[in-house]
A = this chain, B = another copy of it.
Amino acid sequence: MSAKYKVSGMTCGGCVRSVTNAITARDSAATVEVDLPTGVVTVDGDLSEDTVKDAVEGAGFDFGGRAAA
Contact = CB atoms under 8 A, between A and B. Distances in A.
Interface of A: 9-15, 17-22, 25, 58-61
A14 B58 contact: no
Q: How many copies does the complex hold?
A: 2
A17 B9 contact: yes
B11 A61 contact: no
A13 B11 contact: yes
29 contacts: A9-B14, A9-B17, A10-B14, A11-B12, A11-B13, A11-B14, A12-B12, A12-B14, A12-B15, A14-B14, A14-B15, A14-B18, A14-B60, A14-B61, A15-B15, A17-B60, A17-B61, A18-B18, A18-B19, A18-B59, A18-B60, A20-B60, A21-B58, A21-B59, A21-B60, A22-B58, A22-B59, A25-B58, A59-B59
